């Protein structure tokens, strides 16, 4: 919630802890999450849907830190995973396997086996070949795998092309016109139990119509399946609800989102499954960085900071906007600057032509709304150790991932004998 991140007494705080104090302990750059914001933002989402109590499966790829996952596991919710690694994380964090759904176009046999053995709720199957492999693996284990087909409803969510996933040309899902035939085939497979229909149309979506349109197509398909004698229990509409990254941006409130969805699903026998990611974690985390240099370019003033695109790739990858503020409250004049990192790429920036109070070497900046697709997309590019993650709870803070050491970066690398 916004009030978990505020200036108090001239210093930016996460809950009741000053960011400066955290930086004194862990250095910069670092990610900081608010436990109260995680819980609060989840409450708002759950509350919006309360009458129909859907199964909410947090999309683990948005933020997979074990302490974040444990926060959700303690709230009793489910998880949407897209790899064997994410499955392991959820189990390690104490998540209920019976509330896990497994999505993704390229599940391996090992991943499928691990998921069946863990007893997940269902697979979101993305192709006929995958369906056959799941059937084979399940039979080998002497089990039945529960599945939903991920259909491609051919809907434009009107968001960034890299995060649009439900268009005809997209790699995701099974063409909705072919789905009926695939369901018929699935229902004849010995190792398969058909339980649901799934779609996920994209991310950072600001319009409700695409969600409604997609859901209507899924319900229609569910009814068509019924006529064929195939009864499904779950309709999974994926995630994708947008959040505000910029002052004045107005995504639909979860309540508005819930209202239009409830209107469609209420008169059906299906149990709703949701896979929110960004909307639950996006505004619950920040990335804190230190000013290394202030440099006057020919036409632009650059603020060079110690965080880089390898720590938060969204601006470089999606041209995303993140608010950047000074940690020490500054009421001085603003100047227009580019905020850039040390990586040797022109794409390594956090903000361009941005008004920022005058800063100097050593000042701390906070990059806001960095809780989703932040640390999880970080890399070691330029041989930069990945940064620590900190969780705040009230007046305390906890290091929930340590900063990588240089030694960690060489682990597993070998210089072959012939070079010695
Ligand atoms: C990424 C993803 C989500 C979560 O998307 P958000 O926009 O973060 O809510 C949900 N389901 C699937 C299948 C995804 O790939």
Q: What pLDDT does 331 receive?
A: 83
Q: Is 278 in the pocket of ligand 1 (CB under 6 A)?
A: yes
The fold of 104-274 is TIM Barrel (3.20.20)
Residue 282 CA, closest ligand 1 atom number: 8
Q: How many CB atoms lie within 10 A of CB 184?
A: 14
User: Domains of the chain: which residue ranges?
Assistant: 2-32+282-410, 104-274
| Cβ within 8 Å of residue 116, ≥6 positions away | 134, 137, 138, 141, 143, 145
pLDDT in tens, 233-291: 999 999 999 999 998 999 999 999 999 999 999 999 999 999 999 999 999 999 999 99
Spatial separation of the C-alpha atoms in residues 102 and 112, rounded to whole Å: 9
pLDDT in tens, 25-59: 999 999 999 999 999 999 999 999 999 999 999 99
Spatial separation of the C-alpha atoms in residues 42 and 39, rounded to whole Å: 5
Residue among 83, 165, 174, 238 to mutate when testing ligand 1 (max atoms within 8 A of CB): 238
Q: Is 277 in the pocket of ligand 1 (CB under 6 A)?
A: yes
CATH pick for 2-32+282-410 out of 2.40.37.10, 3.60.15.10, 3.90.1170.50, 3.40.50.80: 2.40.37.10
Residue 275 CA, closest ligand 1 atom number: 10
Contact of 350 with 305, CB cutoff 8 Å:
yes
Distance 26 CA to ligand 1 centre (A): 31
Q: Is 240 in the pocket of ligand 1 (CB under 6 A)?
A: yes
Q: What pLDDT does 163 receive?
A: 73
Q: What pLDDT does 165 receive?
A: 78
Residue 203 CA, closest ligand 1 atom number: 7
Catalytic residue positions? 344
Task: Name the nearest CA neighbour of 257 among 271, 282, 237.
Answer: 237
The beta strands (E) that lie in 111-270 are given as 122-125, 145-152, 174-175, 192-198, 234-236
Residue with the two structure tokens 């990059």: 367
Q: What pLDDT does 1 receive?
A: 76
Residue 93 structure tokens: 């964090």
Contact of 240 with 200, CB cutoff 8 Å:
yes
Q: Is 254 in the pocket of ligand 1 (CB under 6 A)?
A: no
How many helices, marked H, and strands, marked E, lie in the chain? 12, 21
Q: Is 285 in the pocket of ligand 1 (CB under 6 A)?
A: no
Same fold, 2-32+282-410 and 104-274: no
Distance 109 CA to ligand 1 centre (A): 23
Q: Is 103 in the pocket of ligand 1 (CB under 6 A)?
A: yes
Distance 57 CA to ligand 1 centre (A): 10
**Residue 283: how many CA atoms within 13 Å on its side-chain side?**
22
Q: Looking at residue 5, what DSSP letter applies? A: E
Q: Which residues of the chain have pLDDT under 50?
A: none
Spatial separation of the C-alpha atoms in residues 157 and 214, rounded to whole Å: 10
Distance 142 CA to ligand 1 centre (A): 31
Distance 330 CA to ligand 1 centre (A): 37
Distance 85 CA to ligand 1 centre (A): 17
Q: Is 251 in the pocket of ligand 1 (CB under 6 A)?
A: no
pTM above 0.75, yes or no: yes
Q: What pLDDT does 119 receive?
A: 98
Q: What pLDDT does 279 receive?
A: 98
Q: What pLDDT does 88 receive?
A: 98
Q: What pLDDT does 2 receive?
A: 79
């Amino acid at each position: 919630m916004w009030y978990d991140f505020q200036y108090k007494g001239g210093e930016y705080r996460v809950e009741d802890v000053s960011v400066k104090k955290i930086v004194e302990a862990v250095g910069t750059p670092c990610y900081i999450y608010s436990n109260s914001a995680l819980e609060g933002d989840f409450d708002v989402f759950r509350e919006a849907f309360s009458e129909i109590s859907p199964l909410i499966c947090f999309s683990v790829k948005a933020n997979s830190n074990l302490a974040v996952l444990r926060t959700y596991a303690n709230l009793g919710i489910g998880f949407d995973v897209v790899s064997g690694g994410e499955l392991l994380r959820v189990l390690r964090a104490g998540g209920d396997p019976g509330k896990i759904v497994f999505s993704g176009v390229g599940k391996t046999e090992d991943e499928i086996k691990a998921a069946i053995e863990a007893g997940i709720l269902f697979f979101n199957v993305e192709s006929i070949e995958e369906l056959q492999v799941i059937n084979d693996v399940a039979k080998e284990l002497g089990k039945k795998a529960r599945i939903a087909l991920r259909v491609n409803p051919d809907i434009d969510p009107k968001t960034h092309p890299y995060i649009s996933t439900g268009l005809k040309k997209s790699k995701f899902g099974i063409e909705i016109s072919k789905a009926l035939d695939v369901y018929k085939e699935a229902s004849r497979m010995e190792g398969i139990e058909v339980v649901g229909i799934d779609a996920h149309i994209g991310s950072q979506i600001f319009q409700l119509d695409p969600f409604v349109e997609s859901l209507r197509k899924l319900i229609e398909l569910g009814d068509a399946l019924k006529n064929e004698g195939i009864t499904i229990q779950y309709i999974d509409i994926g995630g994708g609800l947008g959040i505000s990254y910029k002052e004045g941006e107005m995504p639909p409130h979860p309540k508005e989102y819930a209202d239009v969805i409830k209107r469609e699903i209420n008169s059906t026998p299906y149990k709703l499954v949701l896979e929110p990611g960004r909307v639950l974690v996006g505004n619950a985390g920040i990335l804190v960085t230190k000013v290394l240099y202030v440099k006057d370019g020919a036409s632009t003033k650059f603020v060079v900071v110690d965080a880089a695109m390898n720590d938060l790739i969204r601006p470089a990858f999606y041209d995303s906007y993140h608010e950047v503020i000074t940690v020490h409250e500054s009421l001085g004049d603003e100047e227009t600057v580019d905020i850039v990192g040390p990586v040797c790429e022109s794409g390594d920036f956090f903000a361009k032509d941005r008004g920022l109070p005058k800063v100097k070497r050593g000042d701390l900046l906070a990059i806001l709304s960095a809780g989703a697709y932040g640390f999880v997309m970080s890399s070691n590019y330029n041989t930069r150790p990945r940064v620590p993650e900190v969780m705040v709870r009230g007046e305390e803070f906890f290091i929930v991932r340590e900063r990588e050491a240089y030694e960690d970066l060489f682990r597993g690398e070998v210089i072959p004998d012939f070079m010695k």
